[in-house]
A = this chain, B = another copy of it.
């Protein structure tokens, strides 16, 4: 479901340098686009910043988005930019409350494309319950940017039962993934390379705060660490956890949820799904006695249907991730070296 928001009549069809001047054209662009779509008490002040209050502790996170192409199967840079920061907050155990929104537009971007992105941002922010309260718009010359880059920075209250920290990762903990691997990266790759597969592969871009909220409501301190495996994929994030916690991680290859179409595409493209970027799943390191119940809970929530236990924290091979194959083989899993799919988010 997508919001229907027809673009207003405007006297320009493309973004020009003047729209970044801070003057009349910037005001017209903001009136037509941003203020009409996102208006709220804070934005309507048109001040340099928003005035906020937080009774308790909050999480604060930023991300810049440069994904190419800007529109891809399952989403676009607009909803991706909202989900990205919503999810970084969720990984801190926080609910998204306020967000800033900053654009770097390339001269010549069509206003229709910009509008479609703005509408996606509106829909995604409403779905996530986050208010856009302050922002910025710059324009660079043709050839000095690439259509649109977006920064979102979010802030929101931390769940009262959250106790998420690297030093809570302990030997025996289970490693859970909330859904299928590699959908986002393969969806982007398929558009870039003009590939079509037998099944439609779409990005998994989605907000994760509801899933996390439910886990924290139900299991509280049994959730020791949360991470979303975006750039660098599951392999890189788990390598960082092994390095930073000082523990080993043992993965079961057969337990990794990968859709058949995605597995086939990965094979065709020579990619390991463990290194491909995701935008709608997370990894949870949890107390072993609650692991089965956590997976069962996730499976009952939209977006968590494919949740699975994929490994555990071990005392062996400290600071290393080791994958065990179905026939008993073992291989060390390292961080992504070099670059597999540039500008994936």
Task: Out of B24, B49, B62, B139, name the residue touching A61 (CB < 8 Å).
Answer: B49
Contact with B along A89-126 (1 / 0, CB 8 A): 10110100010111110000000000000000000000
Q: How far is the CA of A154 from the CA of B20 in the complex (A)?
A: 21
Which of A25, A227, A334 gathers most chain B CB within 10 Å? A25
Q: Is the CB of A23 within 8 A of B232?
A: yes
Q: Look across to chain B and name the residue whose beta carbon is closest to the beta carbon of A56.
A: B53
Q: How far is the CA of A71 from the CA of B61 in the complex (A)?
A: 28
Q: With A18-B338, A47-B92, A89-B49 as known contacts, state yes or no: A151 contacts B23, CB within 8 Å.
A: no
Q: Look across to chain B and name the residue whose beta carbon is closest to the beta carbon of A65.
A: B138
Q: How far is the CA of A54 from the CA of B57 in the complex (A)?
A: 7
Task: Out of B21, B27, B151, name the residue touching A62 (CB < 8 Å).
Answer: B151
Min CB distance A30 to B, Å, is 11
Secondary structure at the A interface, as helix, strand, loop or mixed, is mixed
Q: How far is the CA of A35 from the CA of B344 in the complex (A)?
A: 24
Interface residues of A in 225-239 (CB under 8 A from B): 227-228, 230-232, 236
Q: Is the CB of B141 within 8 A of A98?
A: no
Q: Is the CB of A21 within 8 A of B231?
A: yes
Q: Does A263 contact B (CB under 8 A)?
A: no
Q: How far is the CA of A82 from the CA of B259 in the complex (A)?
A: 45
What copy number does this chain have within its complex? Answer: 2
Q: How far is the CA of A227 from the CA of B22 in the complex (A)?
A: 13
Q: Is the CB of A336 within 8 A of B61?
A: no
Q: How far is the CA of A100 from the CA of B62 in the complex (A)?
A: 6
Question: Chain B residues near A254 (CB, 8 Å)?
Answer: none
Question: Chain B residues near A337 (CB, 8 Å)?
Answer: 18, 23-25
Question: Chain B residues near A165 (CB, 8 Å)?
Answer: 45
Question: Chain B residues near A228 (CB, 8 Å)?
Answer: 48
Min CB distance A233 to B, Å, is 8
Question: Chain B residues near A50 (CB, 8 Å)?
Answer: 59-61
Which of A23, A51, A139, A342 gathers most chain B CB within 10 Å? A23
Interface residues of A in 27-54 (CB under 8 A from B): 27, 45-54
Q: How far is the CA of A336 from the CA of B285 in the complex (A)?
A: 54
Q: Does A330 contact B (CB under 8 A)?
A: no
Q: Is the CB of A339 within 8 A of B20?
A: yes
Q: Is the CB of B48 within 8 A of A91?
A: yes
Q: A49-B59, A141-B342 are in contact. List 8 more A-B contacts (CB 8 A).
A: A23-B336, A26-B232, A47-B92, A64-B104, A66-B138, A138-B343, A139-B342, A149-B149
